[in-house]
Amino acid sequence: MSFNTVNPEDTQQPQSEEENSLELEFLKEIKVLIENNLAQVHKQSSFKDETIDRLQKLVYSYEKGFIPSIKEPLLKDLILFKDSFNKFRTMFSESSETLLREIDFLNDEIEDIFYTHDVDIIQVEGDDYDRELQIVRKKIPTDNQALHRKIVEVLKDGYKSGEKILRKQEVAVYIINDQTSQS
């Protein structure tokens, strides 16, 4: 039994020039279709990426503005409560030791809430009035020019969250007497 091996090259008939030209034309059309499809996919992908970027920026700016817009009024209310609490604390400063410990515990709780929400008491160096951080609530007349616009006492603490001032420090300052300044 003998097998005849057939060489595939022997069975293939040469293509005519017309067939070659049709095949080349067909390949060119396929290439153009693929390039067009790739360009369209790239364009859609770019549009999708731009849309995602826009939406991410929108969500970020919304969150950035929305959270503080809710948080800030609550913190301001808590600051007012702290003022009332400080008055209460002063009224009972000579009370029983147990009551004073409980008052101090509540004060620590309020301070912890402030710390958690990045709220700090405004600290001003020296005794010069700083209109950026302080507001005058009480004026004390003086004849001494060296005391003019010096802080007598802090009436209420000021608070800030990050760089934003939630409430300016309320102070009493010395002011030159009107009669003295006119002479």
Per-residue pLDDT of the chain (183 residues; tens, 9 = 90+): 555 555 555 555 667 787 888 888 888 999 999 999 989 988 888 888 898 888 888 888 877 777 777 888 889 999 999 998 888 888 887 778 888 888 889 999 999 999 999 999 999 888 999 999 999 999 999 999 999 999 999 999 999 998 899 999 999 999 998 754 444
Q: Is residue 12 part of a domain?
A: no
Enter the pTM of the model: 0.57
Q: Any residues with CB less than 8 A from the CB of 107 and at least 6 apart, and which?
A: 85, 89
CA-to-CA dists, residue 114 to 15, 73, 90, 107, 176, angstroms = 87, 13, 21, 11, 37
Query: Residues 129, 171: one domain?
Result: yes
The structural domain count of the chain equals 2
d(CA 152, CA 138): 9
Tokens coding 75: 């913190």
Query: Residues 128, 93: one domain?
Result: no
Query: Residues 28, 113: one domain?
Result: yes
Question: Which residues constitute the domain of residue 62?
Answer: 20-117
d(CA 145, CA 141): 11
Q: Is residue 183 part of a domain?
A: no
Query: Residues 105, 25: one domain?
Result: yes
Chosen domain end from 117, 135, 162 = 117
